[in-house]
Structure 1
């Protein structure tokens, strides 16, 4: 089977559940070995990379961690972290920080990645 490259874009917290379901379904359908997936979070969505006392947030982080273990790359926009006053040291170690989420999206699309925004 041909390999696929996909970049998911999220900038709204409310869309995390849908995005993660889409990622899971894609892996299930195409097979983990046949796909490269990157999730770029910017805007308000970067806040959800931070663990807190909210049960729903912790469940979200557990789902993100499980997908990371399957090879999904999770990325945070540095501009959005600054804008939301988030110390990047609070993010899970598996989250990659890029200078600008929009630039990351442009780069991946120029490399042929399919763009999906739930």
Structure 2
């Protein structure tokens, strides 16, 4: 199975929950989870900015093989660029399009 976690919220609790869900999926001992992706857009982008409280956790997720994808439209709207994000985060043109693409490839959708 494959899962995409959609991180949109600026609420720190929801951001922490999204990252924890991704980690829990990765830690699943049944062996049924093949791939986990996190797509970040809107105010959720703050959860993956370099120098923020979640940076270490995001690095651990990336190091564990979880792909984290940030919406370029959001970066433009918030006057940020890729260098403002934790190193290793991929940018995609549009977060919603990326979520839709992943779902069309069979990813289950999770949004806390």
What's the TM-score once normalised by structure 2's chain length? 0.88
SS in 1 for 2:28: helix
Unaligned runs of 5+ in 1: none
Q: Could you tell me whether the CA contact under 8 Å between 2:58 and 2:86 is conserved in 1?
A: no
1:114 to 105, 108, 111: 108
Aligned residues: 110
Unaligned runs of 5+ in 2: none
Q: Measure how far apart 1:34 and its partner are.
A: 4.1
Q: Could you tell me whether the CA contact under 8 Å between 2:25 and 2:36 is conserved in 1?
A: no
In structure 1, distance between residues paired with 2:37 and 2:92? 12
What's the TM-score once normalised by structure 1's chain length? 0.84
Q: Could you tell me whether the CA contact under 8 Å between 1:7 and 1:115 is conserved in 2?
A: yes
Bigger helix fraction:
1
> 1:65-112, CA deviations, whole angstroms, 9 ceiling, x for partnerless residues?
111111000010000001111122222231000000011011000001
Query: Counterparts in 2 of 1:1-118, with a 5 A limit?
Result: 4-14=1-11, 15-30=14-29, 34-52=33-51, 57-58=52-53, 60-118=54-112
Could you say which structure has the larger radius of gyration? 1
> Following TM superposition, where does structure 1 have runs of at least 4 consecutive aligned residues deviating by more than 6 angstroms?
none
